[in-house]
Amino acid sequence: MNKALYEELKKGIDPSWIRRVLQEMILIRSENPFHDPPETGFREKEMADYLADRMSGHGLRVEQREVRPSRPNVFGYIDGAGGDVTLMLAGHIDTARTAGYPDAYESKFEDGKIYGRGACDMKAALAAYLAVVKALNEAGCKLRGNLIVCGNMDEEFQMLGSKAIGRDGPRADHGIIGEPTGLQVCPSNKGRVSTKIITRGRAAHSSVPEQGVNAIVAMARIIRAFEDYNDELLSRPPHPLCGHGRFTPGVIRGGVQVNTVPDFCELEVDRRTLPGENRESVYVEFRRRIEKARAEDSTLAYEITEPTWLIAPNDISPKEPVVEALRRAHVAVYDRDPGVQAFPAAADAPYMGFPTVICGPGSIAQAHTTCEFVELEEVVDAAKIYLHAVLDLLG
């Protein structure tokens, strides 16, 4: 690591430029369409075009790969002189929806904070990546290794963008994803298995309920079967960074009208998983609890659907070079080693196909809120940290 080179390149990181670029990106509506057809404002194409334009202007070779119609991943390449090691700086270009958020696209700057949908989740990191390649380009810095800057689609739903990278490339040796961690270094995060539990009954008029089978009453038995599930999860040995798995019944629907015995009820549940857990192991636990309730009531009829959300946990070694490089970068910027933590939410990291760590500006507490913001100073610090890591791994 050439410290003198880093100090020189760091001068090229311009807070006012970062602010302007981040505000421009916030103005680009790139809400995830989820199950709806992609259309202007509800797709990633416009953000991909913006990033491609910016990266091309800073000397990167640019490529877009369409994962779904009008929903591409975008890549910018800096080919190193040696070409033996590759680092990818990745971040998703879709955002959460903006219902109930009237100021989502005002993109205002007040008291050192930049506001708007996507500010911290996660266009701030993308702005920091662009600041890094701008500094490298303007200084004419030649890296030994290869750098890829990636904007991937569909993180807010099915992780289709990162799954496409893991399946079809491009490949890298190390990855950084700038989800909002407050710039903490997170080599691990929990996964997620969400599904629906459905109970079936028999409809009847509510004046003669004994002639029917009430699916809501059946669901109540299943809910009681899960009452101590979190206690069980908390009693297990914790993961060293992620802690314990957790369970939440989140949405319940049943019945048609109040004077009819309901013949259908569904409960959507959310299970946060630890490294080593997967869909199969979670479903085994679900069935074990429900079958115990069924042993007490043989009329209980239920099914568990395919997952409504299925996101793998991530768990790379804290000794991975990219993790250690980020910790050294922290020391250079803040004069302290941050150690390692777990990212509390799901992310693209486990699908990338190479060791990927999460570290980015902003707080997860602000993501998806109706007052999303990020501190400009933290975005600038992120750019300095990423620059240091790039030089450390590739310089």
Task: Give the pLDDT band (50/70/90) at residue 38.
Answer: very high
Mean local confidence (pLDDT), 323-327: 98
Contact 94, 31 (CB under 8 A): yes
Is residue 83's pLDDT more than 80? no
pTM for the full predicted model:
0.93
Q: What is the pLDDT of residues 188-245, one digit of tens each?
A: 999 999 999 999 999 999 999 999 999 999 999 999 999 999 999 999 999 999 999 9
Mean pLDDT of the residues in the chain: 97
Distance CA 122, CA 330 (A): 20
Residue 362 confidence (pLDDT): 97
Contact 160, 67 (CB under 8 A): yes
Distance CA 29, CA 45 (A): 10
Residue 298 confidence (pLDDT): 85
Q: List the chain domain ranges.
A: 3-189+313-394, 195-310
Residue 299 confidence (pLDDT): 86
Residue linked to tokens 């070079």: 321
Distance CA 105, CA 178 (A): 21
Measure Cα distances from 324 to 19, 71, 91, 176 in Å. 29, 34, 20, 12
Residue 318 confidence (pLDDT): 97
Residue 82 confidence (pLDDT): 86
Evaluate whether 3-189+313-394 and 195-310 have a shared fold.
no
Distance CA 199, CA 215 (A): 5
Architecture, CATH, for domain 3-189+313-394: 3-Layer(aba) Sandwich (3.40)
Is residue 297's pLDDT more than 90? no
Task: Give the pLDDT band (50/70/90) at residue 124.
Answer: very high
Tell me the DSSP string of 167-208: HH----SEEEE--SSTT--BSEE-EEEEEEEEEE-B-EETTS
Contact 145, 393 (CB under 8 A): yes
Q: Which residues contact 306 (CB under 8 A, 6 or more apart)?
A: 195
Name which CATH class applies to 195-310. Answer: alpha beta
Distance CA 78, CA 136 (A): 10
CB-count burial class (<10 Å; 0-12, 13-18, 19+) for 283:
middle
Q: What is the pLDDT of residues 235-283, one digit of tens each?
A: 999 999 999 999 999 999 999 999 999 999 999 999 999 999 999 999 9
Task: Give the pLDDT band (50/70/90) at residue 145.
Answer: very high
